[in-house]
Amino acid sequence: MTFVASDSGANEVIVAGKLQDKVVLVTGAGGGIGRATAIVLAREGAKVMVSDVSTRRGEETAALVREAHGEAEFRKADVSRAADVEALIAAAVGKWGRLDGAHNNAGISGRFAFTAEDTEENWDQTLAVDLKGVWLCMKYEILQMMKQGGGSIVNTSSTAGLLAAPRMGAYAAAKHGVIGITQTAAIEYATRNIRINAICPGVIGTPPILEWMKNEKLKASLMSQEPIGRPGRPEEIGNAVAWILSDAASFVTGASIPVDGGMTAW
């Protein structure tokens, strides 16, 4: 808690956010869930390292964070490349001296195809970004967090990591894999003060989903999966990530938490 002088000369109390002065990395932050999460984390007091494969979109997110009175830096990175990820973590540490938290969110949906009609290229690309990318991020984040005495990591899985995802076999495999490596790493580093969890979004109103929702048949199909009756908002995922990264969730590790409007409770 801090005090600042108002225009009237009186002191006003400003309550610190859940992540006050924490250094947090968000990958895949050029839009959708990643962008919304970066803004939420900044509003909770974090210094945010914004990363994306698109410089334009990543810089836009960093600017939006600053507009929300947060502190942000952008670094381009392809999470499927070890050198990019290692440099990304080094950039965050070089800028702010440490890395307290990370939201490993970068991912692609891949090609829609039945299992027997899918391509090797789609599998290689989807798993490289959605699974190998999460592992590489965890690898270098954990190495840094062990040096400094701890930290918290949230990996983006999906309800497709908990349920079947027809015509999205590669995506489902990657997202199931994210849960597996999350649980494994959580156990491996539990005594090192490093908490590692996964979040499993349902149907979220990101630009691709909103585009699909223009098709009434597809909209009806998507909404039939959501007991709550609407798509989630990207900032609702950001709010959940902020809580998991914060000390309020200090006894939570190895969890795969659905934020899905009740989809997985059917």
Confidence class for position 11, pLDDT limits 50, 70, 90:
very low
Percentage of the chain surpassing pLDDT 90? 83
Distance CA 198, CA 105 (A): 10
**Could you give the number of structural domains in the chain?**
1
Q: Which of 262, 126, 124 is nearest to 200 (CA)?
A: 262
Average pLDDT, the chain: 92
pLDDT given at position 248: 97
**What number is the average pLDDT over the span 111-136?**
97
Confidence class for position 48, pLDDT limits 50, 70, 90:
very high
Please identify every residue annotated as catalytic.
171
Q: Which of 223, 162, 227, 226 is nearest to 198 (CA)?
A: 162
The enclosing domain of 89 has a CATH number of 3.40.50.720
pLDDT given at position 2: 38
Which of the pair, 220 or 244, is modelled with greater confidence? 244
Q: Is the pLDDT of residue 13 over 60?
A: no
Confidence class for position 12, pLDDT limits 50, 70, 90:
very low
Q: Is the pLDDT of residue 15 over 90?
A: no
**What number is the average pLDDT over the span 179-204?**
97
Domain of residue 199: give its range.
Answer: 2-265
**What number is the average pLDDT over the span 238-249?**
98
Strand-pair partners of 194:
151
CB atoms within 10 A of CB 105: 30
**Cα angle value 91/244/130 (rounded, 5°):** 60
In tens, the pLDDT along 200-220 reads 999 998 877 777 778 888 878
Least trusted range by pLDDT, from 34-43, 153-162, 211-220: 211-220
Write down the pTM of the prediction: 0.91
pLDDT given at position 10: 46
